[in-house]
Amino acid sequence: MKYGYFDDQNREYVITDPKTPVKWINYVGSLAFGGIVDHTGGALICKGDPALNRITKYIPQLPSSEFKGETLYLRSKQGHRYKVFSPYFVPTLDPYDLYECHVGLGYTRIVSEFYGIRTEVTIFVPLGDSRMISDIQMTNVSDHPMDIDAIPVVEYTHPDALKQFTNADWVPQTMQSKAYRDEAGMIILAQYPFMYKETRVNYFTSNRRVSSFESDRRRFLGDNQYGTWANPLSLQEEELSNCEALRGDNIAALLHHLGTIRPGETTRLITQLGQDESIEKALPLINRYRDAEQVERAFKEMAVFWDTYLSKLQVETPDASMNIMLNTHNPRQCHTTKNWSRYLSLYQLGLGARGIGFRDSSQDVMSILVSMPQEGKELIKKLLHVQKRDGSAMHQFNPLTMIANEGDSREVQDAPKYYGDDHLWIVLAITAYLKETGDLAFLDEVISYYEKDKDGHSLESGTVFDHVRRAIEFTQNNVGAHGLPLLGFADWNDTVNLPAGAESLFVANLYGKALLEMIELARHLGDAQAVAQYTAYYQTMKQRVNKHAWDGKWYVRYFDVDGSPVGSHSNTKGQIYANGQSWPVISGFAPPDRAKAALDAIYRRLNTRNGIKLSTPGYNRFDPAKGGITTYPPGAKENGGIFLHANPWVIIAETIIGNGDRAFEYCDQINPVAKNDRIDEFECEPYVYPQNILGDEHAQFGMARNSWLTGTASWTYQAATQYLLGIMPTYEGLQIGPCIPRKWDGFKVTREFRNAVYEIEVKNPGHVCKGVKSVKVDGRRIEGNVVAVFGDSKTHRVEVILG
Ligand code: NOJ
């Protein structure tokens, strides 16, 4: 409880101490317009693409005390000087009487009290809009009247975010600001790089009269920038200079004299930071959002969106922390990863060519299908546009230009230019979409492949079905010496980069899982030939995996180009890999005795109280022949760290073999909610999963990093809802097949599925982990455990007895 608490009623996490070990953030808006707001009011905002159209300059590497992108100053006169402070705490760091940052669904609300002024600022982006609103309410909680000025400030970046840092010649010569006064005399401060002045303009404005403004950072800080953000010298003047910057570091600061506020009185100021083609074009909406009622309406609309999004699946289990995550924070994080992929966070900086990751988004999309299948389908379509004609996929793409690239493989000469796994994830995403929606017509939609002629016209298109078939054929046809799939530059583990010719067991098993999906789909479509073909592929790969990859104790993870195993007990380092064991169970390749032995080996060798390590022991010196993994010290990231994304796969595997107790133990030990009491060790936000936690070979065991944008979100959600609670969409209906801790008496789930609501109650009188004894639907017993598709907009009661 040191830094904050969960407010479940309001579905918020409330931070009560601004000095968190690292910045804790929230997301506002979407990739279309939005970004990050940190818990002390800093903001990194962009429109459409963080790399190519970034608006605010937020430098995460600066110390936490520094101004980043946006702040608000308040001031009142004390003698001859102004007392200037920020109600966000940063950057003035004044002592506060109250500080709260409410991390809400799509909004951040900072509530603070300094020097007798209570400030409540709600920061959000209205749904589908291109502006960030800060709704600022200031109350005099002292016993005397006060004259208050409010000066909200943003700092702009060049839209090409990388150029801002790599070119200090061109960028500052192009950045300009201009003040517009609208008919009502309100000031709108516009900003643009010269080349965009007629096409793309940032603006900052408010709903109160501005007495003066500043757009040049040097003037605002004063004394040739020996004034600081903590103490901007211009704020000791009665007015700002009204300078329209012709170059340099552009900011927007708007000085409002709010007048005298009596004790108990509240005054309100609403700011807008937006972007449009021109100020003229932006005016109607700017005017609309100057009206507090419209702002409140937009806020309510956003709340309705989140209510609807979350209402599609709600759980009531005996575990309170699991409920908090599954009902609010986990699906919220899934929504965030679906939106931002790995493109913009405090750790993934959205610079250069990173873009949307093919494998990442293919996995992210699977977790939001229950709540927003149409948006899921749109993202799947985008991903298919960067699949190549040979069935493999480009590794990542830029969402504005749809230009894709081969990821880190570009940096290594002679390395294969594809990743062995990328294209197979889309098979899982598409079949998940089909099972959720029943929208089989999607299979016939025609989508172009990535390759284009010199005029940018696509060279070939194919149906969605054609795309998935080619994905399968690519792996079928690209195998190495053991007949196992070639690794390419890397598989899911980006950091093991073995020389060309190496084989990946991960890809073999992912391929197996994709084939299971293809067989199920073909069966549903009544395509016997495809069933036979994919079953033959499946059996062949299963036989190869079991013939070559079992090392007597567990499954190996790779075969190097010389045929030597990686991830075997015969290795000195990197002897066992978690994915090497979980995935043969998920693919169904592992026979029962090997499945159990492999998962027990994870428990013995890789499990820690903070989660399951990706591999052990860590490599302890750089080895270019292994690749990126050896750039990390033992215990960090992929080199023996707790890479959380891989944990839910072990949970899923344990449920497949019926071990609900262990599956839950694994779930529970990584639940961030439980970290709330151990933040000085964990350090990151307790309301989202981080990507990695330092493993027990590292002296800082337990320390998390890279929060928010991680495949952990999607897979923990799928593992818990579809495997542990066992509510799984199928082509025929909703399958109920839980695998829970035996101590549970049962649980309840409300889930929407194909236009009907399923109110499910599972009872566990015999205290088993797995096994459905009976299912009643609306009071009538059914055969099996798949509840029919009703599609009748009604609510149906489902009672399940385990035993
Ligand atoms: C993070 C990457 O975004 C993801 O694609 C990859 O699978 C993991 N790192 C593991 O290397």
- Rounded Cα–Cα distance for residues 789 and 730 (Å): 10
Give φ, ψ of 50 to 5 degrees: -65, -25
In which band, very low, low, confident or very high, does the pLDDT at 184 lie, cut at 50, 70 and 90? confident
Residue 377 — pLDDT band, cuts 50, 70, 90? Answer: very high
Residue 189 clears pLDDT 80, i.e. is over it: yes
**Long-range contacts made by residues 399-406, C-beta under 8 angstroms, separation at least 24?**
399/31, 399/48, 399/49, 399/343, 399/355, 399/356, 400/48, 400/49, 400/52, 400/53, 401/52, 404/355, 404/358, 404/450, 405/353, 405/355, 406/489
Torsion sign, CA atoms 486, 489, 495, 498 = positive
CA-to-CA dists, residue 31 to 8, 48, 104, 453, 610, angstroms: 27, 5, 18, 29, 32
What does the pLDDT read at residue 354? Answer: 86
pLDDT at 245 over 90: yes
For residue 371, pLDDT beyond 90: yes
- Per-residue pLDDT tens over the stretch 443-474: 999 999 999 999 999 999 999 999 999 999 99
Q: What is the overall mean pLDDT for the chain?
A: 97
- pLDDT per position as a tens digit, 212-227: 999 999 999 999 999 9
Alpha carbons 217 and 467: distance in angstroms, whole number: 51
Query: Rounded to the nearest whole angstrom, what is the distance from the C-alpha of residue 333 to the centroid of ligand 1?
Result: 17
What does the pLDDT look like over 483-498, one tens digit per residue?
999 999 999 999 999 9
Count of alpha carbons within 13 angstroms of residue 219, beta-carbon side: 19
Note the pLDDT of residue 319: 98
The rounded Cα 70 to chain-centroid distance in angstroms is 22
Cα(173) to centroid(ligand 1), Å: 38
* Residues 653, 562: Cα–Cα separation, whole Å: 31
For a mutational test of ligand 1's pocket, the pick from 365, 645, 649, 691, i.e. the residue with the most ligand atoms closer than 8 A to its C-beta, is 645
Instruction: Report the percentage of the chain scoring pLDDT > 70.
Output: 100
**Average pLDDT for residues 782-794, to the nearest whole number?**
98
The catalytic site residues sit at: 494
Site to substitute for ligand 1 among 492, 632, 691, most atoms within 8 A of C-beta: 492
**Given ligand 1 and candidates 360, 362, 395, 424, which is best to mutate, with the most ligand atoms within 8 Å of its CB?**
360
| CA diameter of the chain | 88
Distance CA 576, CA 640 (A): 10
The two tokens of residue 302 are 């956003």
With CA atoms as reference, report the closest residue to 208 among 146, 269, 266.
269
Report which ligand 1 atom has the smallest distance to the Cα of 493. Answer: 11
- For residue 549, how far is its CA from the centre of ligand 1 (angstroms)? 23
Contact 203, 253 (CB under 8 A): no
Residue nearest to atom 10 of ligand 1 (CA): 493
Asked whether the beta carbons of 368 and 335 are under 8 A apart, the reply is yes
Q: What is the mean pLDDT of residues 353-357?
A: 90
Evaluate the CA torsion angle 594, 599, 600, 604 in order and state its sign: positive
- The answer on pLDDT for 353 being more than 90 is no
Nearest protein CA to atom 5 of ligand 1, as residue: 360
| Per-residue pLDDT at 183 | 86
Residue 593 has what pLDDT?
A: 98
Instruction: Report pLDDT for 797.
Output: 98
Distance 356 CA to ligand 1 centre (A): 12
- Measured in Å, residue 522 CA sits from the centre of ligand 1 at 31
> pLDDT by residue (tens digit) across 677-725?
999 999 999 999 999 999 999 999 999 999 999 999 999 999 999 999 9
pLDDT confidence of residue 181: 93
pLDDT-derived band of residue 541, with 50, 70 and 90 as boundaries? Answer: very high
Q: What is the pLDDT of residue 411?
A: 86
Task: Give the count of alpha carbons within 13 A of 209, CB side only.
Answer: 7
- Report the separation in Å between the CA atom of 493 and the middle of ligand 1, taken as the mean of its atom positions: 6
- In this prediction, residue 302 has a pLDDT band, given cuts at 50, 70 and 90, of very high
Distance between CA atoms of residues 635 and 620, nearest Å: 10
Question: C-alpha distances in angstroms, 64 versus 93, 107, 253, 615, 654?
Answer: 11, 21, 22, 33, 41
Minimum-distance ligand 1 atom for the alpha carbon of 360: 5
Give residues (CB < 6 A) around ligand 1.
342, 357, 359-360, 492-495, 638
Report the nearest atom of ligand 1 relative to the CA of 348.
3
Q: From the alpha carbon of 494, which atom of ligand 1 is closest?
A: 11
pLDDT of 113 above 80: yes
Residue with tokens 């196992």: 484
pLDDT digits (tens, 9 = 90+) for 253-281: 999 999 999 999 999 999 999 999 999 99
Q: What is d(CA 405, CA 53) in angstroms, rounded to the nearest whole number?
A: 19
Mean pLDDT of 324-346: 98
Query: CB-based burial of residue 475 (10 Å sphere; 0-12 exposed, 13-18 middle, 19+ buried)?
Result: buried
